[in-house]
Structure 1
Amino acid sequence: MHMLASSEVLRLDIISTAERLDHLACMALLDEASLEHKPGLVCPSSQGSHSDMDFSLFQSSVDALQGYFQAQCLNGYRNVELEKIRQCGILAEQKMMSATRQINTHKGAIFNLGFASAAAGQCLAANSQLNAGSISQKIQNTWRYDLLNHLQRDPNSHGQRMRRQYGITGAIEEVASGFKTVMEVALPAYTDIYAKTANIQQASIQSLFSLMAYVQDTNIVWRGGLSALYLVQDIAKQFLARGGVLQQHWVKDVSKIENYFVQHRLSPGGSADLLGVTLFLLKVENEFRNHI
């Protein structure tokens, strides 16, 4: 009886931790959507380059996703096969689309944070530390090969069409790498600026621009071709070279970029998705008191 009670306590503890992770994932998505001065992207004061979505739609979308990240965390804990993780994601996508009148607000987040949550579950099963590095490693060790070789890809998705047409990689490759760009570009940018300013908004914007300078964003390529991608990367690099958010008048600088992006209907959605991952990993680090 004692052994049964002990395992039952562990099970409830795992469910509780999975619930906490679900909350952190939803909060990361809300924080990303709430961040002002994101060029071309939806925020509370602007629709960015999007005529079909606004901030309230993003809030409805996040509400619809509550519970999904807990489910994926428990999937990881139980070490289910990839297909079960994929099916769980498809159900969440259907729920999201129903809540947003068939507008894709968080398809990237469902994929990215779904695997991050499943990897967190694997960390719990292995009784290893719950932090960005261990989540990244678990993804690579468990799913890298299957993601790159066996995952059913939608040939009509924007990402896959851009892959065929231009040979650029997208979300699947980024997840398979254990979020290499987040680990090597976005997190260091965030922690550097936060250490200097203690300002979450500035650290988040610097992180976003660091991603925009680096990511092969299929959202940008879909809207404007490779020339638009190179232009966005160049604009972001120039902003960072001027000092980024450490400039005295950085908001004025970003406002000009925002206007340009809206005029040319540019939206760095792929970078925004990875900012969501960055904020989630930071929340995990903070919640479970491990430091990057």
Structure 2
Amino acid sequence: MIAGGDARAPSATLLADLAVRALHEEARLGPKPGLVDHRGGGAHDDMDLPLLLASAEALRPVFRSAADAASRTAIGVGLREELGRLGRTGDQVMLRVTRGVNTHRGALWALGLLVAAAGGSRDEREAACRAARLAALPDRHGPARTVSHGERVRRRYGGCGARGEAEAAFPHVIGVALPRLRRARAAGLAEDLARLDALLEVMSLLDDTCVLHRGGLGGLRVVQRGAARVLGEGGAGTESGRAALMELDERLRAHRLSPGGSGDLLAAALFLDMVPWPEHLTEAERGMVACRR
């Protein structure tokens, strides 16, 4: 089983709470170029912050059920199919709450896998690898394959999209967002600025299918180069970096370019950063865990 019998494994309720908290904190973070935040809908005319917060809250039971299923089921097709069923339920719940607006479909996929993988993992890297194993398994009971916006983008431009990111063990989360977030904190940057810089680094590197769908390769270049410029100016915490950030935000709004895939991956990074991993316990705490096994 994923949980592996670890007495210190976080509960399904805690993991669901952390997933929802990560979505809330990503939504509230700002100013995010092109994305919904406390200022409004960004490049979207059908979303705002209250809608995102309500959507995230509605997914709490789905995340809890995913973590609970993983705690009692070994990694395999059976668990993958249960997660697929829960994901489809979550999608329907989201659309009911938002009256048809796709607020969190990508985040539901990423966080659903990571919530399921986190319970028995020693650290975020192991959780990402377990999530990748799940993502690669077939869901035989899923609906007939439809051609989504992301699938059309992958066929036209290549790239991996949300599914490929998961199957590759979330490289933009583990290798980009989390290291940048932690380096920024270590350098004394305020938490919101550290998170903005982590988002910008993902934006500068990710072939974001949300951007490709709306703006093609030209739009992707605008996002990637603009984010790289903000970081090159010192990031969101410097005067020149903030000016470049606001200029990028204006440009993305004007062209209706929303780096939603990058936002989803920041939420995944925040979730993994919040989980109380056994590997992060003190030596004394490790000994207590070992004695209980």
TM-score scaled by length of structure 2: 0.86
- The equivalent residue for 1:116 is 114
Paired residue type of 2:210 = N
Aligned to 1:84: 82
Would the aligned equivalents of 1:93 and 1:107 in 2 still touch at CA under 8 Å?
Answer: yes
> After superposition, where does 1:198-213 map in structure 2 within 5 Å?
198-213=189-204
Residue 57 of structure 2 aligns to which amino acid in structure 1?
A: D
Q: For residues 245-264 of structure 1, give each alpha carbon's deviation from its aligned partner in whole angstroms, at most 9, with x where no partner exists.
A: 34244333311111111111
What letter matches 2:153 in structure 1?
A: M
Whether the 8 Å CA contact 1:21–1:69 is kept in 2: the answer is yes
Aligned residue among 146, 158, 164 for 2:137: 146
Partner of 1:73: 67
- Given that residues 148 and 176 in structure 1 are in contact (C-alpha distance below 8 angstroms), is that contact kept between their aligned partners in structure 2? no
Query: What are structure 2's unaligned runs of at least 5 residues?
Result: 282-293
CA shift for structure 1 position 59: 1.4
CA distance in 2, matches of 1:206, 1:199: 11
The one of 242, 256, 260 aligned to 2:247: 256
Deviation of 1:112 (Å): 0.3
Task: Deviation per CA, 1:255-289: give whole Å up to 9, x if none.
Answer: 1111111111111000000000011011114x768
Contact kept, 8 Å, 1:209 with 1:236, in 2: the verdict is yes
1:34 maps to which residue? 28
Aligned-pair CA distance for 1:156: 2.2
1:290 paired to 2:284:
no
Q: Greater shift after overlay, 70-79 or 244-253?
A: 244-253
Aligned partners of 2:108 and 2:136: how far apart in 1? 20
Structure 1 pair 204–153 and aligned structure 2 pair: CA distance change class (3 A): farther
The answer on 1:241 being equivalent to 2:251 is no
Superposition RMSD in Å: 2.5
Match of 1:136 among 128, 147, 151: 128
Cα distance 1:73–1:148, how it changes in 2: closer, same or farther (>3 A)?
closer
Alpha carbons of 1:63 and 1:215: their partners in 2 closer, same or farther (altered >3 Å)? same
Q: Which runs of 5+ in 1 are unaligned?
A: 1-9
State whether residues 189 and 206 of structure 1, in contact with CA within 8 Å, keep that contact through their aligned partners in structure 2: yes
Q: 1:148 to 1:63 in 2, by over 3 A?
A: closer
Over the matched positions of the two proteins, sequence identity in percent amounts to: 34
Distance 2:220 2:266 in 1: 18
Kindly provide the CA deviation profile for residues 10-54 of structure 1, in whole angstroms up to 9, marking residues without a partner as x.
Answer: 89987x711011100000000000001100100111210110111
| Alpha-carbon distance in structure 1 between the residues aligned to 2:22 and 2:116 | 16
The answer to whether the 8 Å contact 2:8/2:278 transfers is: no
Cα displacement (A) at 1:61: 0.4
Structure having the higher helix fraction is 1
Mapped to 2, the partners of 1:147 and 1:229 lie a distance apart of 31
Describe the superposition over 1:209-230 as per-residue Cα deviations: whole angstroms up to 9, x where unpaired. 0000111101101101111112
The corresponding residue for 1:55 is 49
Cross-structure match for 1:271: 262
The 1-side partners of 2:267 and 2:135 are apart by 21
Q: Indicate how the Cα distance of structure 1 residues 42 and 144 shifts in structure 2: closer, same or farther if over 3 A, else same.
A: closer
Question: In 1, are the aligned partners of 2:229 and 2:244 still within 8 Å (CA)?
Answer: no
2:183 corresponds to which residue?
A: 192
